[in-house]
Amino acid sequence: MKSIRIEDDIHEKLTSLVGELTASSGRMQTYADAIERLLGTSIVLHEDLVKRINDLIKESRLLGYNNHVEFVRDAVRYYMKDCLEEEFYVKVPIPRKEYDVLGKILEETAAPYTDPSDYLRKHVQEIVEKYRVEGSEMR
DSSP secondary structure string for all residues of 63-77: G--SSHHHHHHHHHH
State whether 3 and 38 are in the same domain.
Answer: yes
Residues of the chain falling short of pLDDT 50: none
Question: Model confidence over 95-113: pLDDT tens digits?
Answer: 888 988 999 999 999 888 8
State the pTM of this model: 0.47
Per-residue confidence (pLDDT) for residue 6, from 0 to 100: 86
Per-residue confidence (pLDDT) for residue 55, from 0 to 100: 93
Task: Report the 10 Å Cβ neighbour count for 58.
Answer: 9
Torsion of CA 23, 28, 32, 35, to 10 degrees: 0
DSSP run (H or E) holding 51: helix 47-59
Give the mean pLDDT of the chain.
Answer: 86
State whether 84 and 109 are in the same domain.
Answer: no
State whether 97 and 55 are in the same domain.
Answer: no
The CA distance from 97 to 62, in Å, is: 16
Please report, rounded to a whole number, the percentage of residues in the chain having pLDDT higher than 70: 94
State whether 22 and 63 are in the same domain.
Answer: no
Helix (H, G, I), strand (E, B) or coil at 101: helix
Q: How far is CA 118 from CA 72, 77, 113, 135, 139, in A?
A: 25, 20, 6, 25, 32
State whether 79 and 97 are in the same domain.
Answer: no
State whether 61 and 96 are in the same domain.
Answer: no
State whether 73 and 103 are in the same domain.
Answer: no
State whether 99 and 136 are in the same domain.
Answer: yes
Q: Which residues form the domain of 18?
A: 1-42
* Alpha helical stretches, state H, the chain: 8-25, 31-41, 47-59, 68-85, 96-108, 116-138
What is the CA 96 to chain-centroid distance, rounded?
A: 16
State whether 102 and 139 are in the same domain.
Answer: yes
State whether 96 and 139 are in the same domain.
Answer: yes
Stated length of the chain: 139
The sign of the torsion formed by the CA atoms of 44, 49, 55, 59 equals: negative
Per-residue confidence (pLDDT) for residue 71, from 0 to 100: 92
Tally of domains in the chain? 3
Per-residue confidence (pLDDT) for residue 88, from 0 to 100: 62
